[in-house]
C-alpha cells in the first residue's frame, strides 16, 4: 500500500515504514532489556556503529568519537558486557527509551533503506537518573532473516558537552 505525502511531494511506502518502525522499536527493546546477543544479531557482517562527539558530522577517521565500532569491535563490546565484570554495567543500568519521529530517508537500488528516528533514554543507576536524547540514523539491509543494520549513527544532543559514563547500548 502506498500513501502520498503531499507536503514532501513524495510517495511513502507505508508497509515499509511499518516494517522499519517495528525493527527500530525491537532494537530499542533489546537495548533496554539487555538482550545483548539478540541486539548483536541485528547487525550485518560489515556493520558500523558510530556515536560522534563534538558535533554530528565530524570525520571519525580524524576526530575522536564516543563510539566508532566496526563489526569486530561491536562483538568485543558485547563480549565485554557478557563477562559480568564490565563494572560500569555491573549492575546494569535500568533503562527505558522512547523512540519517535521515525522517517524513511531513502532507498538504494540494492534494497538498502535509510531511516531516522529521535529518542529519549531514561537511565537509572546508583549515581542517579541520566537523560540521553538524540537522533539515530540507520542504514538497513534486506536479508533472508529480515532487515539488518549495516550502519547506525547516534547523534546525541549533548555530544559537545561533558558526559557521564555511557556503557549501556545507546
The residues in 3-42 that bind another protein, with binding defined as CB under 8 A, are none
| Residue 60 engages another protein in binding (rule: CB under 8 A) | yes
Q: How many residues contact another protein, by CB under 8 A?
A: 36
| Residue 46 engages another protein in binding (rule: CB under 8 A) | no
**Which CB, 4 or 165, lies closer to another protein?**
165
**Which CB, 40 or 69, lies closer to another protein?**
69
| Residue 63 engages another protein in binding (rule: CB under 8 A) | yes
| Three-state secondary-structure class, residue 20 | helix
CB of 128 to another protein, least distance (A): 8
For residue 49, the cross-strand partners are: 69, 152
Query: Residue 151 phi/psi, 5° resolution?
Result: -155, 130
Give, rounded to a whole angstrom, the gap between the first and last alpha carbons of the chain. Answer: 33
Residue written as cell 539515530? 136
The residues in 71-130 that bind another protein, with binding defined as CB under 8 A, are 73, 76-77, 79-80, 83-88, 126-127
Judged by CB under 8 A, the stretch of 20-28, 31-39, 68-76, 113-121 that binds another protein is 68-76
Query: Residue 39 phi/psi, 5° resolution?
Result: -65, -45
Among 72, 91, 71, which residue's Cα sits nearest to residue 81?
91
135 within 8 A of 117, measured Cβ to Cβ: yes
Q: How far is CA 113 from CA 60, 61, 75, 104, in A?
A: 23, 25, 23, 7
The residues in 139-168 that bind another protein, with binding defined as CB under 8 A, are 160-167
Applying CB under 8 A, among 20, 24, 48, 67 the residue interacting with another protein is 67
Interacting residues toward another protein by CB under 8 A = 51, 53-54, 58, 60-69, 73, 76-77, 79-80, 83-88, 126-127, 160-167, 170
Amino acid at each position: 500500500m502506498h500513501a502520498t505525502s503531499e507536503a514532501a511531494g513524495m510517495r511513502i511506502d507505508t508497509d515499509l515504514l511499518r516494517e522499519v518502525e517495528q525493527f527500530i522499536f525491537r532494537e530499542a527493546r533489546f537495548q533496554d532489556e539487555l538482550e545483548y546477543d539478540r541486539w548483536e544479531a541485528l547487525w550485518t557482517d560489515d556493520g558500523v556503529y558510530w556515536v560522534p562527539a563534538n558535533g554530528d558530522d565530524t570525520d571519525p577517521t580524524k576526530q575522536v568519537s564516543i563510539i566508532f565500532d566496526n563489526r569486530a569491535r561491536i562483538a568485543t563490546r558485547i563480549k565485554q558486557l557478557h563477562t559480568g565484570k564490565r563494572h560500569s554495567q555491573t549492575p546494569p543500568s535500568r533503562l527505558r527509551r522512547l523512540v519517535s519521529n521515525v522517517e524513511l530517508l531513502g532507498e538504494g537500488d540494492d534494497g538498502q533503506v535509510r531511516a531516522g528516528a529521535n529518542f529519549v533514554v531514561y537511565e537509572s543507576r546508583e549515581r542517579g537518573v541520566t537523560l540521553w536524547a538524540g537522533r539515530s540514523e540507520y542504514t538497513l539491509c534486506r536479508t533472508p532473516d529480515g532487515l539488518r543494520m549495516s550502519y547506525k549513527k547516534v547523534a546525541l544532543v549533548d555530544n559537545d558537552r561533558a558526559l557521564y559514563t555511557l556503557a549501556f547500548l545507546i
